[in-house]
A and B are shown apart, each in its own frame.
Chain A
Amino acid sequence: MNLLEMKNIKKEFNGLKVLMDISLHVKEGEIVSIIGPSGSGKSTLLRCATMLTDVDSGEITYMGKKTVWMENGKPVTPPKKELKEICSCFGLVFQNFNLFPHYSVMKNITDAPIHVQKRDKTEVYQEARELLAKMGLSDKEDAYPCQLSGGQCQRVAIARALALNPKILFFDEPTSALDPELTGEVLRVIRSLADLHITMVIVTHEMNFARDISDRIIFMDQGVIAVEGTPEQVFSSEHDRMKEFLGKFHQGA
Chain B
Amino acid sequence: MRKMSPARITVILLTAVVVFLPIGLLCWQSLLDAPFFQAQKHLGLDAYRFIFDDPDFKRSFLNSLYISCGMGLIAVPLGGVLAFLMVRTDLPGRKWIEPLLLIPVFVSPMILCFGYTVAVGPVGFVSLWTERLVGSVPWNLYSMTSIVLIAGLSHVPHVYLYTASALRSLSSDVEEAARVAGAGPLRVAATVSLPMVMPALLYSGVLVFFLGFQIFGLALVLGDPEGHLVLATYLYKLTNKLGVPSYHLMAAVAMCIVGITVPMVLSQRFLLRNAHKYITLKGKGARQRSLPLGGWRWVAITLVLAWLVLTVIVPVSGVVFRAFVTNWGEGVTFREAFTLDNFKAVFEQTNLMRGVTNTVLLGVFGGGLSVICFAFIGLSAHRKDNGWTRLLDYTVMTPRAIPGLLAGLAFLWVFLFFPPLVPFRKTLVSLWLAYTVVWLAYGMRLISTSLLQVGPELEESARVTGANPGQVNRHITLPLIRYGLLASWLMIFMIFEREYSTGVYLLGPGTEVIGSLMVSLWGAGAIDIISALSFINILLVSAGMGIALRYGVKLHD
Real binding pair = no
B interface with A by C-beta (< 8 Å)? none
CB within 8 Å of B: which residues of A?
none
